Structures are given as structure tokens and as C-alpha cells.
Structure 1
Amino acid sequence: MKNIWLIISACLFLTSCATILKKEDYDLRVTSNVRNAKVKVYDSLYDLPNNIKVVRSKKDLKLTLISDTLNLDYIVKSSPNPTFLYLNSLGMQLSPAYYAIDLTNQKRFYYGDNVYLNTNDTTRIIHPPVRKFWNEYFGKKYPKNKEHINLSLSIPYINGFNFEPNEIGTKVNTGFWGISAGLEYFYRDDKYVALKFVAATDFFVPIPAAATLDDVREDLSTTYIDLTDNYKLGRLNFGYGINYSVNNYRLIDQTYPDENIEFRRKNQSFGLTANTYFQFGKSLFAGVVYRPTFIRINPTIDFKYEHLISVDFAFKIPMRKNNYG
């Protein structure tokens, strides 16, 4: 057992990308639009252009551009390097361990590969490409104003069902495909109500294609209407509300060509809805919807827990634009 843990530990530490692939220091190319200029780094002066050895650190890097007529201070922001951000993710299930290892050392940082000190720029703060992309991408909020209205169309692509049809017992399955349409109304800049109609199935094929169905199969599906109150926080959207659902179970037996057997169960229920979406672009969203039901009103009135969990891809079309367009 001791040897097994030693092997696992060695694999984790030897495959951490930033730890293995990156050195504690590296050459940073520094150039400027000023001729015959020098740069001060770590209390040392270098002629420009030059490759200057810098130490990786979570602290920002201070540069001073010096010439006969000027003396300007610049700050290069520290940023996670691409190796840390992207290559560790290739480890898939073990990537959290890889990130945890790299979080303990300074090798995960860098200041970019090139720095251009331009005296014509109004800012003296320089962001490496990775940090700049991160700031610009997540910094874009796509704000809305009060009375903005969206038409929301979506595909509940992955659907996990946990149903309990009357007199059948618990049925659990995960499948694909569905369709949804609804309206969103912003009653505040960061809050909106949404009314949505949804139909979801457990069809077993993840892409549109011809498929051979089993002679005996059980299908789960649902249609529901939900009303949610939603918060918009930058690119994140959170919602909660109520739903009215019609949950369907169907058994089909086509074992004998001359005799098709079909058996159905349907119930109508009330429940709650919770959702979380991330906004990838101006109109494209992806998220997870959790829709449990608790109060069954047909065919009997009782308390019965069922749920649907969907991975949903949504496209939102402005019907009444705000000041941001």
C-alpha cells in the first residue's frame, strides 16, 4: 500500500505542467518607441531593446524607462501563464490536483513574452495577453436597462429524469433533446422575470441521426411552464421560481410485429425551479436547470418528489432594446 501511494504521489507531482515545464526565471523582451533609451529593472540598467531575465512572481513588475529627456515608471501586471491555465486542464480528472500543486509555487506566473514601452500611451500599466483577455472577456458585463425585453429560445440538450409514475415505481434515465421558448422582462437593471415553456425528452441519441429503437423501451418526457425571478451579475445569471409540470412515462413493446403494446402514465404537478446560466456572448448562454416537483394534483392529490436536471443552451433575442443596444 505504501508503494502505491508513493507512485500516485510521484505521478501527480511529475505531471504538474507549470512546475515541470517552467523555470523560476525567464527572458522578457523589452522594447520602446524611444531611441537610445534604457530600462531599469530590479535596480539594474539595460540598453533597449534587450532580453531581460525576470523572476516569476505574483507581484507586479516595475520598469522605469530612462532617456535624456524623460523618466517614466511602468507597471507590468503579474498574470497566470498559459501553461498553468491550459495544459493542466489536459489532465482531466486529475487536473484539480495539478492546479493545487502549481498553486504552491511562483512558476505559475509570468509577465508576458514581450513588453513594449510606448510613451504615447496614456496608461503606464501593461497587462500580459492572458490577463488582458481575462479582464476584457469577464469584464464585459452586457448591461441591461429597466424595461428591456428578451425572447428566449433554448435547447435542453442533456436531461436527467427521476420520475415516479403512478403505480409503476421510480424511473431514472438520462437522455437528450428538448425545446424551450419564453420571454424575459427587466424590471431593474440587474433583475428580470422570465416566463418559459419547456419540453424535454430522454431520447438516447446525442446528435440528430437515424436510430434503431429497441423492441421494448421506456420513455420519459416532460412539458412544463415556469415563472422565475432572476439576477444578472455580469456574465452570470441566477434564477428561482415555481413551475407547473406534466411528467410522462411510456412503455412500448414491439416484440411481436403484429401486436404493438403501449402503456402510458401521466401526472400533473407543481414544484420549484432553480437555474444558473453563464453568458458566452451577446446572445449565447449555457446553464443548468434544476426543476423538482412536490405537489401532485393529477391523477391523485399527494406529495411526491420528482425532478428534471437539464443542461440548457439558450439564445436570447432583444425584443425591446435598452440604451446599450
Structure 2
Amino acid sequence: MKRHLVLVLIILTTLLTSCSTVLNHKTYKVNISSNAPNSKVRVYDSIYDLPSKVEVERSKKELELELITETENLNYKVKPVWDPKFVFVNLSGFILAPVNYAVDLTNPKRFYYRKSIFLDTNDTIRTITPERITKGIENGFKRYFSTELSRQKGDLYVHLGLPFVNGFKFKPELEGSVNIVGMMGFTAGLDYYHTNKQFLSLRLSAVEDYNNPVPITEDPSETLNMPLSSVFVSLSNNHQFNRFSVGYGVAFARNMWEFVFKEEYQFIIMETKKRAHSAIGLVIPVHFTVFDNFNIGAIYRPTFYTFGHSTKFQYEHLLSLEFSYKFKIR
């Protein structure tokens, strides 16, 4: 019995201990950047242009870096810290946790230098501690969100978008209120910067309420189908705040609703009716530039006055989540 117990403990120790020993490689890649323009960094015996992703060895020793700038060379030392796998995952062994830590404490793979290192030339302290690495990451986020896009007065961009998710609230004639969430659509337009921080946007959009992200063939088991679609033209003035843009403007829309009833597993249509009307209202686009000219955003389009409808003043809306890309043509 004791021999079996010892065997079980050995197996459990093998499976549950030394997480950093098993999960971590001897080397890993760290992102190194600096606020010095046109700078390079020497790591071991190699030189890399910054920013760069550099492969370094895990060790309990300090990582020595040499920042090479246009005016001077600066030497830095980065202190290692314990890898989160060593700190937290080893606890999964519960009663064997002390053994887990004992095994990993003999292995340099329990260390790392964080995922990102920022070399700040304005900082007179050249030894980078964990607190300074965290500060560098925070500064990196601040720089990312505070980045001013390179836009100039007179720039002209083509905007191509994919309204991927669309929420409809329409009121077809004699049908009451119809609320549906669907997918797919397309947007094309032009963005003209009349100042460095503002641009006029003229766009043509067509959206649908497909149930799937990719349109598929008709399901023969469905007996009732009520597709919604909308085509609209919008003109908005947009304000650029670093990576964010917020706009306001007017929109003219053509909303279409269809009712189709057929026999199950038959393509014989038993009943159909269509409703369509035009409407005028507002458009409020909000976008965030993720990188380069790729954006994600939301477009809110409320309308208040309808044409071709017995009720002239009524509220309808379309809310779309959009992926878009802009490229400069002038």
C-alpha cells in the first residue's frame, strides 16, 4: 500500500509540478522600444532597429542592453522577475505546491523580463526594475491612444466599410414595429479634410438582416421569411480626436420590408407582400483607428420623417457595427 502511495505521489508530482519548467522555453521574445528617433539596441552580440521584437534568454541575471542613438550610446540593465506561470500555475498542485516551487526554484526558466521594455532617454536611471517596466507599458498605452493621425487640410480618402452587425427598428405600413438584428452590408464613400482635425464624409450604405455572417442558400424547412434591408446616403461633419472620430450629419434612407410565406420543404410561395418607404433623419458615426487606416466603429442613424407612409412623423433607427478601411487618394 505504501509503495502504491509513493508511486501515486511520484506521478502526481510529475504531472503537476514544475510548471515553468514544462511550459516555458529557455528563450522568449520581448518587445523593445524607445523614445529616441532612429535608434537601435544591442542585445548580446546583435544590433536591432527599434522598435523590434528580440529573442532573449530567461535568466536570474540582469539583461544588459545598449541603446544606440544618433548622438550617444546608453547602457541599460533590466532586472528579471518571476514568470506568472511560476507564481500562479504551480498552485494548481494544491498539497504538492511546495514541491512545485522547490523544483522550479532550481530552474532559470522561472524568470523573464516582462513582455515589453521601453528605453526612456529622458530617465536618468538606467536600471529598469519591474515597476519601471510597468510604467513603460502604461506610457506605451498612453502614447498609442494619444497618437495624432497624420491628416492635413485638403486630404481626400476613400472609405470602404463592412457593416457587420445591424440592428433595425422599422415601422412598415400597416405592420406595426419590426425589431430585428442581422448581419452584412457594404459602405463606400469619400472623406475630405477641410481642416487638420475635421473632415466631411459622404457615404452610400446598403445593409441587410441576414442571420449568418455569410449569406447561404435558402433553408427549405423555413415557412416564414421577413427580410429587412435599407439603403441610405449620408453627409456628416466629423471631428478627429487622436485615434477617435465623432461625427454628426443628415441621412436619407430607403427602408424595405418583405413578408414571404411558403409551404414547408417546398419552394412554392403561398403569400407575399412588400412594404417600402423613404425617410429622412440624422447620422452619428463614431470610429476608432486601430492601426494605419483600419477602423472599427458604430453608426447610429435615427429617422423622424417618412415619405410614402400614412404616418409622416415617426421614429425609426438603424444601428450598425462596422469594420472599415480608408486609403488616401489625394
The residue that corresponds to 1:249 in the other structure is: 257
**Distance of 1:191 and 1:157 partners within structure 2:** 26
- Residue 140 of structure 2 aligns to a residue whose secondary structure is helix
**Distance of 1:297 and 1:209 partners within structure 2:** 33
Aligned pairs for 1:98-113 within 5 A: none
- Residue 156 of structure 1 aligns to a residue whose secondary structure is strand
**Distance of 1:291 and 1:301 partners within structure 2:** 19
Q: Residue deviations 1:191-223, cap 9 Å, x none? A: 011000000111111245555262211111100
The residue that corresponds to 1:169 in the other structure is: 176
**Distance of 1:259 and 1:158 partners within structure 2:** 29
Q: By how many angstroms is 1:136 displaced? A: 3.7
**Distance of 1:202 and 1:268 partners within structure 2:** 18
- Residue 194 of structure 2 aligns to a residue whose secondary structure is strand
Shift in CA distance, 161/114, structure 1 to aligned 2, threshold 3 Å: closer
Shift in CA distance, 136/261, structure 1 to aligned 2, threshold 3 Å: same
Q: By how many angstroms is 1:124 displaced? A: 2.9
Q: 1:215 aligns with which of 210, 214, 223?
A: 223
Q: Give unpaired runs (5+ residues) of structure 2.
A: 1-41, 43-59, 63-73, 85-112
Is residue 277 of structure 1 aligned with residue 287 of structure 2? yes
Q: For the Cα contact (< 8 Å) 2:151–2:196, is it kept in 1?
A: yes
The residue that corresponds to 1:134 in the other structure is: 141
Give the number of the structure whose alpha-carbon radius of gyration is greater.
Answer: 2
- Residue 188 of structure 1 aligns to a residue whose secondary structure is coil
The residue that corresponds to 1:42 in the other structure is: none
- Residue 251 of structure 1 aligns to a residue whose secondary structure is strand
Q: 1:262 aligns with which of 258, 264, 272?
A: 272
Structure 1 stretch displaced more, 217-226 or 294-303: 294-303
Q: For the Cα contact (< 8 Å) 2:162–2:187, is it kept in 1?
A: yes
- Residue 227 of structure 2 aligns to a residue whose secondary structure is strand
**Distance of 2:289 and 2:188 partners within structure 1:** 17
- TM-score, normalising length from structure 1? 0.60
The residue that corresponds to 2:160 in the other structure is: 153
Q: By how many angstroms is 1:275 displaced? A: 1.6
Aligned pairs for 1:63-74 within 5 A: none
**Distance of 2:174 and 2:151 partners within structure 1:** 48
Q: By how many angstroms is 1:190 displaced? A: 0.3
Q: State, as a whole percentage, how many aligned pairs show the same letter.
A: 25
Shift in CA distance, 280/113, structure 1 to aligned 2, threshold 3 Å: closer
**Distance of 2:176 and 2:199 partners within structure 1:** 38
Q: 2:306 aligns with which of 278, 292, 296?
A: 296
Q: By how many angstroms is 1:137 displaced? A: 2.2
Q: Residue deviations 1:239-285, cap 9 Å, x none? A: 11010000111011122644443210001110011121111011110
The letter of the residue matching 1:164 is K
Q: For the Cα contact (< 8 Å) 1:205–1:211, is it kept in 2?
A: no
Aligned CA-pair RMSD: 3.7
Q: By how many angstroms is 1:122 displaced? A: 5.8
The residue that corresponds to 2:240 in the other structure is: 232
The letter of the residue matching 1:172 is N
Q: By how many angstroms is 1:236 displaced? A: 0.3
The residue that corresponds to 1:187 in the other structure is: 194
Q: By how many angstroms is 1:311 displaced? A: 0.4
Q: Residue deviations 1:64-105, cap 9 Å, x none? A: xxxxxxxx9x9x9xxxxx99xxxxxxxxxxxxxxxxxxxxxx
Q: 1:306 aligns with which of 305, 310, 316?
A: 316
Q: Residue deviations 1:118-172, cap 9 Å, x none? A: 9x95643775252243134223222310000110000111000000001111111
**Distance of 1:182 and 1:113 partners within structure 2:** 43
Q: Give unpaired runs (5+ residues) of structure 1.
A: 1-32, 34-48, 52-71, 77-81, 84-111, 321-325
- TM-score, normalising length from structure 2? 0.59
